[in-house]
Structure 1
Amino acid sequence: MKGSQVLERLRKSGYKITPQRQEILNALLGSGINIPQSAEEIHKKVIEKYPHISLDTVYRNLQVLTDLEIVSKLNLQDGKNRYELNYGEHHHHLICLKCGAAEAIEFCPFKSVDIKKIEEEKKFEIRRHSFELFGYCKICRHQPEGTEPGTFEGTDDQE
């Protein structure tokens, strides 16, 4: 979803396009790579330009954006919710258990599942699903235990 589409969706839904809301969207856009971020990470970016914006304001705006399906709220099993812009295509993530990096995988394994059959058999109405894969990223899988994420104190012959 492009920035102009996001703004138009907000307007059509009756929301004002405030500078703070635009800055929250800019923080989500980041460097063009769609990396899920916590509200706290987004807040740190927004206060660089708007130092008086509260974390609560960021949370309220993220909820509005989630309700409008502009943003997806992800629970990556680390106790923090993360947020990312919806670009229209449903996807899942690879999540590093050490550094918390999340990388999108561009397919959904549930597309091959007969959802209607499950709903009928289990008498359960499915509204959404989550499928995330947990492991170690390229950097962290070669780190000795006890080292900080993203640092490596080994030799250069590692991958």
Structure 2
Amino acid sequence: MKEQQLVEQLRRNGYKITPQRQEILKAFMESSSRLPQSAEDIHNRVVEKYPNVSLDTIYRNLNVLEGLEIISRLSLKDGKSRYELNPGGSHQHHLICLGCGAAEAIDYCPLQALHEIGIAEEKKFEIREHSFEIFGYCSLCRERSDEIGKLPGKCS
């Protein structure tokens, strides 16, 4: 999704396009990292250009973007939320590295099978949302651990 499309989506939903909000969008669009970004990461980027922007402003904007499904929030084991662009406005699941924190999106919903086999109907349960993340070690961390001899949290 292009930055201009995101700006139009905000406008259609009645939000003003402030320079700070545009800078937040740019932070997502121009991220070269595989890692989803924390509010602090975004804040550090935005204050380079707009020094008076508070972390509260960043959080408010992240909540707006998440509510419009422009970004997705990942809650990781360190207790911090991380955010990433949400292409197509659909939910995503991730493989998350316990070593470096890299998050790789899964292109399909592994929990779709719950719907297909009718568990919710059988239990008379209406599913509204779900989350599903898989934690392990990426190939780079596994290579490094081979050099070092052990992955953190791995049995000896």
TM bracket (short chain): 0.7 to 0.9
The residue identity in structure 1 corresponding to 2:115 is D
CA distance in 1, matches of 2:34, 2:26: 11
Matches within 5 A, 1:14-93: 14-31=14-31, 35-88=35-88, 89-93=90-94
* Worse-matched range after superposition: 56-65 or 33-42: 33-42
CA distance in 2, matches of 1:145, 1:46: 40
Does the CA-based 8 Å contact 2:96-2:102 persist in structure 1? yes
Q: Given the superposition, is the C-alpha separation of residues 12 and 113 from structure 1 closer, same or farther in structure 2, using an over 3 Å criterion?
A: same
Does the CA-based 8 Å contact 1:66-1:73 persist in structure 2? yes
Give the secondary-structure state (helix, strand or coil) at the position aligned to 1:74.
strand
The residue identity in structure 1 corresponding to 2:5 is Q
Structure 1: which 5+ residue stretches go unaligned? 148-159
Shift of 1:132: 1.3
Question: How many matched pairs?
Answer: 147
Q: Name the residue aligned to 2:108.
A: 107
CA distance in 2, matches of 1:146, 1:14: 52
Shift of 1:17: 0.2
Q: Given the superposition, is the C-alpha separation of residues 146 and 56 from structure 1 closer, same or farther in structure 2, using an over 3 Å criterion?
A: farther
Output the aligned Cα RMSD: 2.3
Identity %: 63
CA distance in 2, matches of 1:129, 1:116: 16
Shift of 1:109: 1.4
CA distance in 1, matches of 2:115, 2:76: 25
Does the CA-based 8 Å contact 2:95-2:136 persist in structure 1? yes
Shift of 1:72: 1.1
More helix by share: 2
CA distance in 2, matches of 1:99, 1:71: 22
| TM-score where L is the length of structure 2 | 0.82
Does the CA-based 8 Å contact 1:34-1:85 persist in structure 2? no
Q: Name the residue aligned to 2:9.
A: 9
